[in-house]
Amino acid sequence: MTEVLKRVLPWLVTTLVLAFIAVTTDLETAWATVRATNWITFIPAVIGVCVTVFLFDSWCLVKLFSRFVAPVTFREMLPLKGTSYFLNVINYNAAAAGIALFFRNKKGVPFLEALASMLWLNFVDIVSLAALVLIGMWVSPVELEPKLAFWVTAVCSGVLVILVGSCIYWNGRFDWFFFGRFRTWTIFASFAKATLADYAFFIGIRLAFVGTYVVSQAVSMPFFSLEAGLKELFLFVPLLTFVGTIPFTTIAGLGTVQVLMRSFYEPFTPTYPSMDQVHAHIDAYSTTTILAFVLVRIAIGAVFMRGVSMKIQESASPDPVRENPS
């Protein structure tokens, strides 16, 4: 029952949110916004942004796996990351499992040990997003509504407190009561290996990686006559991405994040006589860009899918694992 709920709930929540958007938007204005877009330049821009993000993310994963799992080349990682784009649309766990299977079959790395590195990177990503949101609240000219600002500050600060507690536990060897048993669990192997220098390095490069999301929004918004500066996006994009990491709330970026966009991007729209039209303009932008980015990522994944599937399925004697520094 729990597994069924995990699979169904994200789709149910996303469907309900999309239904809310559909019945509360001005479809005529939304369609006019889509038609006014210069598709001849928009499509190449989306492709360029997606390819840049893909290459940067692949480079980050090369650094991650080479540090915590087994040496891997950029050439090996490109098809793995590309295929994960394809599988992510269906199921994130399937994408992570596919990468772990590659390392088990081709590098001789235990399955859970490979998964452990991705779990650690997910933690680093959440920490990076939380830090960037707090920095954005400080440098951005935008002031969030006081109650929202309080909760955003509290949650993001809480994430940073968890980071400190994690470092004390794993690096300072302080067990926090009965949690010492986690040290022997393979799924936490990368937490056990990570040094403070690792945290500094990977948080730094993942901050830069989230910066590519900010750039992607800055590139795509003018096509829909949305005028936002980088300082505003420096707050809103990490915050939207952070919300998108909450389990069960979104599928491929659709749903909850789009409702927040209505509020965040309202000041950047052209002047309209009604708020329904303002929301419709933003809905047209969010739906079109999210679907465009998803389709390009699927296309990237499709290019590599067949070759990676064959490699993952190869179970003949895996290559010997080259020594990896701890």
Average pLDDT on 51-69 reads 94
Residue 5 placed within a domain:
no
Residue 159's CB is within 10 A of a number of other CB atoms, namely 18
Average pLDDT on 223-231 reads 91
**Would you say residue 320 has pLDDT above 60?**
no
pLDDT score at 315: 46
Q: Which of 232, 58, 20, 218 is nearest to 139 (CA)?
A: 232
pLDDT score at 212: 92
Q: DSSP 3-state assignment of 71? A: coil
Residue 16 placed within a domain:
no
d(CA 232, CA 136): 8
**Would you say residue 310 has pLDDT above 70?**
no
pLDDT in tens, 176-201: 766 777 888 888 999 999 999 999 99
pLDDT score at 268: 93
d(CA 263, CA 265): 6
Residue 4 placed within a domain:
no
Residue 262 placed within a domain:
yes
| DSSP conformational letter for 252 | T
Confidence category of residue 100, pLDDT binned at 50, 70, 90: confident
**Would you say residue 68 has pLDDT above 90?**
yes
**Would you say residue 318 has pLDDT above 50?**
no
Residue 45 placed within a domain:
yes
Confidence category of residue 244, pLDDT binned at 50, 70, 90: confident
Residue 306 CB contacts under 8 Å (≥ 6 apart), including other chains:
none
Average pLDDT on 57-79 reads 93
Domain that holds residue 198: 25-313
Average pLDDT on 114-129 reads 94
**Would you say residue 55 has pLDDT above 50?**
yes
Average pLDDT on 238-258 reads 78
Residue 47 placed within a domain:
yes
**Structural contact between residues 240 and 261, judged by C-beta atoms closer than 8 angstroms:** yes
pLDDT score at 85: 82
Residue 95 placed within a domain:
yes
Total structural domains within the chain? 1
Residue 41 placed within a domain:
yes
**Would you say residue 58 has pLDDT above 90?**
yes
pLDDT score at 5: 61
pLDDT score at 246: 73
pLDDT score at 248: 60
Q: Name the CA dihedral angle for 15, 17, 20, 25, rounded to a multiple of 10 degrees.
A: -110
